[in-house]
Structure 1
Amino acid sequence: MPRITVLPHEALCPQGAEFDAEPGAVLCRELLDHGIAIEHACELSCACTTCHVVVKQGFASLDASEEEEDDMLDKAWGLTAQSRLSCQVRVKAADLTIEIPKYTINHAREEH
């Protein structure tokens, strides 16, 4: 079972986090299920960039992003070559280390 490591984020998980995930699981849903309240303003439909993450380790193990995700990522704050929308990432067999950027494009945090 792959291990997900979340680097410390001052608001969402100050100590960082680690948990196991089922292969095939959606990364955003796994973060939420493990108490990391990542924003997801579009309810995981690839219509915003609030669930943007940077995959620090394990990026090559993921399926390539599709054009719709790439178009949305162009609007993300802090975009890098390893950026993904966590709502579009399916966990594979490899461990992942991710960083949640400090900011999103939202002016105010949406509560779910």
Structure 2
Amino acid sequence: MMLNFFALRWIVEFNLSQIIFVVTAGLLLCGAIARFGFSTVANENIKRILAYSGHVCAFAFQAWKSYVLIAVMMSIGLFLRTTELIPKFLLAPLYMGLGLALFLVSFLYYRSFRRETAN
């Protein structure tokens, strides 16, 4: 949600043609990232979660390397936001794509949880 908040906060400063570009590019990136990136990771995590028995640490749902990747991505995002190395006009579609993809892929977890609790 935070990534989407940043993108929306930047979008209000753009003109109409920039808004159309940002939203279109963001939605296209969302589809690609969700389908070819995050859904694969989510499905692997779901398999890992379902293989556990008994009580498990809340952070065990992801592989340790995923936490390293998250830290690197957050650091890069913070760097890009604060240095303005890339204009917000080009950064907004990336933030929108990532934020929406994370949101959409979260439903894979919800669906799996609902199936498991129904059994």
TM range (shorter): under 0.3
The structure with the largest strand share of the pair is: 1
**Structure with the greater alpha carbon radius of gyration:** 2
Higher helix fraction (1 or 2):
2
Tell which has more relative contact order, 1 or 2 (C-alpha 8 A, sep 6+). 2
Per the normalisation by structure 2, the TM-score is 0.23
TM-score (ref. length: structure 1): 0.24
